[in-house]
C-alpha cells in the first residue's frame, strides 16, 4: 500500500519519450513540482485529494480480497461501458503540428482498442499477467456538439504561437470539464524531454486547466505519429482517470521500488526498456513491465485492479469525472444521438493544394458526423468539372486559381460548402525568360501579373503594394506588421523564371529590405525559398531573423524607411542554372516587430571569366549563426566532398558531410545540428582535394 504523504508528486503525470522508444533519461520529479504548485494554490483541494486517495486505497484492498468483483447492486446501477466525449484542441502555426483529421481518428481508434482490450499486441502479454489483463469497458468518442450545442467534429483548430514551449497557459478555449475530456495538442512543451501530462482527478487548479497536454508527434500511428509513441495518450488518460505510474508517485523510474496503490500490479522500480522477466523488487515476482502506466516501449495492458480504480474515478465527484458519461451529457455532446450530417468538408492530397499545369489532385470527403451516401462535386477549371465520386481525381490543365464545391447527402439531408481560391495551378512554362530579371514594383500590381499573395495564418495583415516607400522610385511591397501581435506567416510568390536564359554564370538574386524592430528582442523572420516543381515544395535559400534583418533599429511607431535604411541582400542561385521554370517565394513570420519592406529584386549571372565551378557560390548564411544557418555551395560535376567545422586552432569540431555529391546545389544545416559556444569558427569545404574556408561567427 502507498503512503498518502507521498502522493503530492503524482497529480500531474508527465511522460518523457525519445525517438520511437521511451526516454532513457526521464524528467526527474517535475510532476512533484507541478502538483505542489497546484495544491499549494488551494489547500482545501489538497485535503479533498488526500482523503479521496485514502478511500481508494482502502477500496482497492477490499476489491482485491473479492477478486475485483463489483458489488451486484452497483453493477445494476453502473453502465457496463463508460463513454467519454473528447475534444482535441490542435494548437498550431500551420506547420506539421497541425495534424490531420485522419491522424486524430487513428488515435481515437487506438484508445478504444487499448481500453477495451482489443489491441492486437494483447496476445504478447507474458504468462504472469494474462490472468489479470482487463477490458476496462471505457470508450472514447469525438464530440458532435460543442458547448453551445453547435455542430462539431470534436476537433478544435487554433492558430497560436502558444503551441511552442507549451504549458498550462497554452490551454486555450477549454470546453467544460464536466462534459468533455479536453486534449490540447501542441508542437513543443516548455519542459525539455516531456511528451505530455495530465492532471489526476481533483488536482487541477484552476479547473480550466484540467485535461491533457501532449505533443502532436505523439498522436496516432500515422502522419507525424508512429505506432510506438501512439500509446502516450493511453498512458495520460490513465492518469486522468487516477492511475499512478506502476512504481508510484514520481517521474523517476529505475530508482527505488514502489507501487501504485493497486494490489495486482507488483512492486517495481519502473523501466525505460523492456526486460519482460525482471523481478528486481520482490524475489520470484515478475514485474508488470508491459503495463500502460510504465515507461517501457512495450506497453500493452491494464490490470483488473487498474480497471476498478479508473471506474471508481468515473463514479467519484473529484474533477467532475462522474458527469462525463451520464446519459444527459452524452446527449448534450451529441455522442449518443444518431449520426446527422451537419457540415460538408474536404481536403486534397496536397497540403498546399498546388499543382503543376497538367497534373492532378485527389479530393477526400471530410464531412462531419453523418456518413454521406452521395457526393456532388464542382471543379471549375478541372477535368472532370463535376463528379459524384467519393474520392475524385481531378486534372488541371490551365494555370489559375480555382474554387471547389462539395454537396454531401444521406437520409438526414444535405449540406454543402464552397472553398474559394482553393486550388492553385501553376504554369509549367516560365512566365519570364530573359538575360536579367528585374522588379521594382513601379509598374507591377501585387497581387497580379504573376505575383501571388498567400496568407498562411487567419487574421493579421499580409503583403500589399505601397507607394509610400521605395528603395528606388516610390513603390515597394510591404506588410504592416506593427499591428500584428501573433506569429503570423505570410507568403509572397513571384513569377517563374527561366534560369537557362539568365546571362552569365553563377546567377544570384539580389533584393533590398527595410525592417525595424519594436523591441530589441523581436525575432521576425524573412526567408527566401525557391521551387523547381511549380510551388508544390520549396527549398530555403536565405534566412534573416531579428537584429540580422533590422535596418531601421528599434521603432515603436509605424516604421517607414528613409533612403538610408535599405539593406542589400544576396542569395546564391548557382545550382539552378538548368531550371527552366523556377519559382521564388518570400515568407515572413511575424514576432511582434515592426513593418517589413522589399524592393529592387534582380536575378542575374556573373559575366566575363567564369568562376571555378568547384567553388561556385560557397556561402554560409545567416552568419552569425542561428537555427536556420546553412552551408551552401554548387558543384559543376559529381565530386568527393568533405564539409567540416573547425575551431580557431584548426581542430575539427563537427563533420557535416563526407562523401560523394552529384552536380547541382547543396545545403547542409549547421544551425540546427550544432551547439557551439560563443566564438569564431571556420567552415572548411573540400572538393576533390581542393579546400575552401569561410569564417563562422557564434554570438
**CA-to-CA distance for 168 and 166, rounded, in angstroms?**
7
DSSP helix/strand/coil, 407: strand
CB 603 within 8 A of CB 508: yes
**CA-to-CA distance for 34 and 42, rounded, in angstroms?**
13
Bond before 267 cis per omega within 30 degrees: no
Beta strand 679-687 pairing with 639-646: antiparallel
**CA-to-CA distance for 645 and 651, rounded, in angstroms?**
8
Beta strand 476-479 pairing with 596-606: antiparallel
Judge whether 62 counts as a catalytic residue.
Answer: no
**CA-to-CA distance for 264 and 66, rounded, in angstroms?**
12
**CA-to-CA distance for 64 and 267, rounded, in angstroms?**
15
CB 396 within 8 A of CB 360: yes
What is the DSSP code (8-state) at residue 634?
A: E
* Residue 285 vs residues 64, 253, 268, 278: alpha-carbon distances, Å: 17, 18, 10, 8
Residue 556, C-alpha cell as written in the block: 515603436
CB 644 within 8 A of CB 623: no
For CA atoms 447, 451, 456, 460, give the dihedral sign.
Answer: negative
CB 522 within 8 A of CB 624: no
**CA-to-CA distance for 687 and 638, rounded, in angstroms?**
10
CB 143 within 8 A of CB 319: no
**CA-to-CA distance for 249 and 2, rounded, in angstroms?**
9
Residue 453 exposure: Cα atoms within 13 Å on the Cβ side: 13
Residue 227, C-alpha cell as written in the block: 505506432
Q: Which of 52, 97, 236, 287 is catalytic?
A: 236
Ordered alpha helix ranges (H), 210-361: 232-240, 304-313, 327-332
Total residue count of the chain as it appears in this document:
699
**CA-to-CA distance for 130 and 124, rounded, in angstroms?**
9
**CA-to-CA distance for 272 and 266, rounded, in angstroms?**
17
Grid look-up 444535405 returns: 414
**CA-to-CA distance for 220 and 14, rounded, in angstroms?**
18
**CA-to-CA distance for 671 and 667, rounded, in angstroms?**
12
Between the CA atoms of 665, 671, 673 and 676, what dihedral angle is there, to the nearest 10 degrees?
130
**CA-to-CA distance for 646 and 693, rounded, in angstroms?**
10
Grid look-up 524592393 returns: 599
* Residue 681 vs residues 18, 646, 651, 686, 695: alpha-carbon distances, Å: 31, 6, 10, 16, 6
Positions annotated as catalytic residues are 236
Amino acid at each position: 500500500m502507498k503512503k498518502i504523504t507521498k502522493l503530492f508528486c503524482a497529480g500531474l503525470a508527465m511522460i518523457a519519450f525519445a525517438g520511437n522508444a521511451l526516454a532513457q533519461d526521464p524528467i526527474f520529479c517535475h510532476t512533484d513540482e507541478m502538483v505542489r504548485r497546484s495544491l499549494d494554490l488551494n489547500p482545501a483541494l489538497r485535503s479533498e485529494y488526500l482523503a479521496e486517495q485514502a478511500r481508494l486505497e482502502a477500496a482497492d484492498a477490499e476489491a482485491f480480497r473479492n477478486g475485483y468483483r463489483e458489488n451486484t447492486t452497483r453493477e445494476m446501477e453502473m453502465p457496463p461501458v463508460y463513454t467519454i466525449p473528447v475534444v482535441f484542441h490542435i494548437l498550431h502555426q500551420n506547420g506539421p503540428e497541425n495534424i490531420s483529421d485522419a491522424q486524430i481518428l487513428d488515435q481515437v481508434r487506438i484508445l478504444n482498442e487499448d481500453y477495451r482490450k482489443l489491441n492486437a499486441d494483447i496476445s504478447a502479454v507474458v504468462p504472469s499477467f494474462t490472468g489479470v489483463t482487463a477490458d476496462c469497458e471505457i470508450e472514447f468518442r469525438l464530440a458532435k456538439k460543442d458547448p453551445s450545442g453547435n455542430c462539431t467534429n470534436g476537433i478544435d483548430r487554433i492558430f497560436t504561437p502558444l503551441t511552442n514551449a507549451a504549458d498550462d497557459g497554452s490551454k486555450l478555449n477549454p470546453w467544460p470539464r464536466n462534459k468533455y475530456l479536453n486534449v490540447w495538442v501542441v508542437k513543443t512543451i516548455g519542459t525539455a524531454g516531456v511528451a505530455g501530462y495530465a492532471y489526476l482527478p481533483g488536482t487541477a487548479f484552476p479547473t480550466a486547466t484540467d485535461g491533457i497536454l501532449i505533443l502532436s508527434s505523439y498522436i496516432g500511428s500515422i502522419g507525424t505519429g508512429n505506432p510506438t509513441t501512439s500509446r502516450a495518450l493511453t498512458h495520460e488518460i490513465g492518469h486522468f482517470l487516477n492511475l499512478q505510474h506502476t512504481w508510484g508517485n514520481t517521474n523517476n523510474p529505475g530508482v527505488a521500488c514502489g507501487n501504485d496503490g493497486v494490489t495486482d500490479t507488483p512492486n517495481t522500480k519502473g523501466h525505460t526498456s523492456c526486460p519482460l522477466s525482471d523481478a528486481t523488487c520482490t524475489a520470484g515476482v515478475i514485474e508488470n513491465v508491459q503495463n500502460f502506466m510504465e515507461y517501457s516501449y512495450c506497453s500493452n495492458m491494464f490490470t483488473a485492479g487498474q480497471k476498478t480504480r479508473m471506474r471508481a474515478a468515473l463514479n467519484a465527484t473529484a474533477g467532475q469525472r462522474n458527469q462525463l458519461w451520464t446519459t444527459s451529457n452524452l446527449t448534450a455532446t451529441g455522442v449518443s444521438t444518431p449520426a446527422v450530417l451537419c457540415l460538408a468538408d474536404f481536403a486534397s492530397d496536397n497540403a498546399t493544394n498546388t499543382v503543376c499545369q497538367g497534373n492532378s489532385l485527389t479530393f477526400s470527403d471530410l464531412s462531419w458526423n453523418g456518413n454521406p451516401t452521395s457526393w456532388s462535386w464542382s471543379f471549375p477549371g478541372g477535368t472532370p468539372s463535376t463528379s459524384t465520386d467519393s474520392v475524385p481525381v481531378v486534372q488541371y490543365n490551365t494555370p489559375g486559381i480555382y474554387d471547389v464545391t462539395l454537396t454531401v447527402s444521406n437520409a438526414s439531408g444535405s449540406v454543402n460548402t464552397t472553398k474559394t481560391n482553393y486550388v492553385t495551378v501553376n504554369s509549367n512554362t516560365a512566365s519570364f525568360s530573359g538575360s536579367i530579371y528585374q522588379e521594382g514594383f513601379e509598374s507591377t500590381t501585387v497581387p497580379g501579373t504573376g505575383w501571388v499573395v498567400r496568407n498562411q495564418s487567419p487574421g493579421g495583415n499580409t503583403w500589399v503594394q505601397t507607394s509610400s516607400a521605395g528603395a528606388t522610385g516610390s513603390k515597394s511591397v510591404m506588410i504592416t506588421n506593427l499591428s500584428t501581435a501573433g506569429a503570423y506567416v505570410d507568403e509572397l510568390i513571384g513569377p517563374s523564371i527561366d534560369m537557362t536564359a539568365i546571362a552569365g554564370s553563377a546567377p544570384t538574386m539580389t533584393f533590398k529590405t527595410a525592417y525595424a524592430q519594436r523591441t530589441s528582442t523581436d525575432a521576425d523572420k524573412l526567408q527566401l525559398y525557391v521551387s523547381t516543381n511549380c510551388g508544390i515544395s520549396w527549398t530555403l535559400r536565405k534566412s534573416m531573423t531579428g537584429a540580422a534583418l533590422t535596418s531601421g533599429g528599434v521603432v515603436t511607431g509605424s516604421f517607414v524607411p528613409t533612403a538610408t535604411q535599405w539593406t542589400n541582400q544576396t542569395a546564391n542561385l548557382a545550382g539552378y542554372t538548368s531550371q527552366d521554370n523556377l519559382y521564388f517565394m518570400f515568407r515572413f513570420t511575424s514576432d511582434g516587430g515592426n513593418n517589413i519592406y522589399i524592393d529592387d529584386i534582380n536575378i542575374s549571372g556573373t559575366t566575363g571569366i567564369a568562376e571555378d565551378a568547384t567553388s561556385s557560390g560557397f556561402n554560409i548564411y545567416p552568419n552569425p549563426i542561428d537555427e536556420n544557418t546553412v552551408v551552401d555551395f554548387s558543384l559543376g560535376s559529381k565530386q568527393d566532398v568533405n564539409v567540416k567545422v573547425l575551431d580557431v586552432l584548426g581542430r575539427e569540431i563537427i563533420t557535416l558531410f563526407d562523401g560523394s555529391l552529384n552536380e547541382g546545389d547543396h545545403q547542409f544545416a549547421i544551425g540546427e545540428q550544432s551547439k557551439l559556444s560563443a566564438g569564431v569558427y571556420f567552415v572548411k569545404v573540400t572538393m576533390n582535394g581542393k579546400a575552401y574556408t569561410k569564417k563562422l561567427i557564434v554570438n
